[in-house]
Structure 1
Amino acid sequence: MTFSIIARCHKTGQFGGAICSSSPAVAARCLQAKAGVGVATSQNITDPKLANILLDMTKYDLSPEESIAELVKNTEFIEYRQLTLINSDEKPAAFSGKHSLGVFSQCIGEHAVGAGNLLAKQEVSQVMVDAFHAASGSLAERLMTALKAGLAAGGEAGPVHSAGLLVVDKVEWPVINLRVDWSDTPIEDLHQLWKVYEPQVEDYVVRAINPASSPSYGVPGDE
């Protein structure tokens, strides 16, 4: 029903993730990140609050492995959940409960974690992590490369219909938060949306921090 990748950029300090599913609006439920803290997913039969709980525990100096272990130990219905978590400098972590749906897998890399359920094949998670580490460019671009590689490797057993891309940086809000909530080609649509937004990312940060120097986009009424 879902496959995802989360990652950190050790050069910029950014955290981010990319995710897709056969269900609508997957990114709104399953993917969370906090600037300066980390990025997490809660997927499979989703409990959306779990990703934020993991980030809160990470904020108070628990490692990803410790955070997930503590959550697993103290959470009802945890065997129905699939979790991933990354912070700034420690080994990433993941958990797949025994009731994860269909073919499921997880792969922990140096700077990324891939996970999925109802997959066409177990190798999808490994393929995403390998593609991320082999890719170049911005964190967002590498995440999209990884998600597309997961799809090319088989992706879900059935068609996917929604996808999302989330990146946090130095400001309190996500600098990138793009979603395709229902489409027959959500990953392709999301990548096209990202390429439209890519050259404007920094300008919107400037608009928030110093509107007096913000650029114009030439829209009606914007002089």
Structure 2
Amino acid sequence: MTFSIIGYDPEEKEWGIAVQSKFLAVGAVVPWAKAGVGAVATQAFANTAYGPKALNLMEQGKSAEEALKIMTEEDPDREQRQVGIIDANGNPASFTGDGCYNWAGGITGRHFTAQGNILVDQRTVQEMAIIFTKTKGSLAEKLLAALQAGQQAGGDSRGQQSAALLVVKEQGGYGRFNDRYIDLRVDDHPEPIKELIRIYELQQLYFSPSRPDKIVPLDGEIRDSVEQELTRHGYANSNPLVDEDLFSALTKYIRTENLEAREQAQGHIDTDVLDYMKRQK
């Protein structure tokens, strides 16, 4: 009932999964990952024990192929399962049982595995494989691009409902307290992949550090735009503002909108913050 892609970034040491399904809250069932160990997608008549079990086997030193073999051999209902695995070194493995509903199958390649069942046809996984390989950028961006390409190629034959993106990285989580670098879910939506991409972009705005080329002085046209937006959003009552009032209003806006990661030294602004202000209604 699902199509997914698992990938590995050897430079950033990230493991991740993107998935979509005509199924409520697919992110609560399919994706499993642990930094330094690997990632798993368990689907079709999903055995959710495959997630923690595969991670445990790989943490003990088993490869993706070895973990997959052990799990499926022990499972009397394996022919109804579909699973993809990437191990700590980025080696992929994929299994589709003969009892999975057509079209069902998977493709593995360098640092990725793509799989799906109840698909329109095989083009969904083929396009995911092609786009993941071709796309430049972060692992999350590659996974999302591949997922979107899979949907455009046909996707789940029953339609869309939910999607999820999970990327793990050592100390990548909030406050560096865990490995959940990106953990986003769209549980019920008519266009879940489009919505997942939208909230991913918000996640990056909230939590990614500012790029140096985006930090500019608060003067000239930039200052005029900031004043206009602060007034429009109710953070200022007059225009023009003296420096002290402008800086105070901007600080209040940034902290109200949870954009502290983008806050700059007084007299400067990250233009991504200004762009966000302009997009807000």
TM over 0.5: yes
> Structure 1: which 4+ aligned runs deviate by more than 2 Å?
199-203, 220-223
Percent identity (aligned) = 32
Contact 1:51-1:83 within 8 A present in 2 as well: no
Give the equivalent residue in structure 2 for 1:71.
71
Alpha-carbon separation, structure 2, partners of 1:222 and 1:193 = 15
Q: Contact between 1:2 and 1:20, CA under 8 Å: does it hold in 2?
A: yes
Q: Which residue of 2 aligns with 1:165?
A: 165
Q: CA deviation at 1:167?
A: 0.4
The aligned residue for residue 193 of structure 1 is 199
Partner of 2:230: none
Rg bigger for which structure? 2
> What is the CA distance between 1:76 and its match in structure 2?
2.5
Task: Report what 2:153 is aligned to.
Answer: 153
| CA 1:15–1:222: 2 relative to 1, 3 Å | closer
Could you say which residue in structure 2 is the equivalent of 1:124? 124
CA root-mean-square deviation: 2.0
Per-residue Cα deviation, 1:75-100 (whole angstroms, up to 9, x for no partner): 23111110110013253101011111
Paired with 2:72 and 2:259, the residues of 1 have a C-alpha distance of: 51
2:188 pairs, out of 182, 192, 208, with: 182
Stretch of structure 1 that moved more, 30-39 or 47-56: 47-56
Quick one: distance in 2 between partners of 1:220 and 1:66?
A: 47
Q: Which residue of 1 aligns with 2:255?
A: 218
- Residue-by-residue CA offset, 1:33-65 (whole Å, 9 max, x unaligned): 001111101100112121211111011111111
How big is each residue's C-alpha offset from its partner over 1:88-125, in whole Å with a ceiling of 9 and x where there is no partner?
Answer: 32531010111111211100010110000000111211
Query: Per-residue displacement from partner, 1:146-182 (whole Å, max 9, x unpaired)?
Result: 0000001111112110000000011233111100000
Quote the residue 1:41 is aligned against. Answer: 41
Counterpart AA for 1:195: E
Within 5 Å, which residues of 2 pair with 1:44-123?
44-89=44-89, 91-123=91-123
Q: Distance in 2 between matches of 1:46 and 1:196?
A: 30
Residue type at the aligned position of 2:18: A
1:195 deviation in Å?
0.7
Distance in 1 separating the partners of 2:8 and 2:258:
39
Q: How many residues align?
A: 212
Describe the shift of the 1:89–1:220 C-alpha distance in structure 2 as closer, same or farther (beyond 3 A).
Answer: closer
Q: Check whether the contact 1:175–1:201 (CA below 8 A) recurs between aligned residues.
A: no
Aligned to 2:265: none
Aligned residue for 2:195, secondary structure, equals: helix
After TM superposition, the structure 1 = structure 2 runs for residues 18-29 of structure 1, keeping only pairs within 5 Å, are 18-29=18-29
TM-score (norm 2): 0.72
Distance 1:202 1:170, change over 3 A: farther
Q: Any conservation in 2 of the 1:176–1:201 contact (CA below 8 Å)?
A: no
TM-score (norm 1): 0.90
Q: Is the 8 A contact 1:109 1:129 kept in 2?
A: yes
Residues 90 and 112 in structure 2, CA contact (< 8 A), matched pair in contact too: no
Question: Is 2:14–2:139's contact at 8 Å kept on the other side of the alignment?
Answer: yes
Question: CA 1:65 to 1:194, structure 2 compared with 1: closer, same or farther past 3 Å?
Answer: same
Task: Give the distance between the partners of 2:23 and 2:101, measured in 1 at CA.
Answer: 14
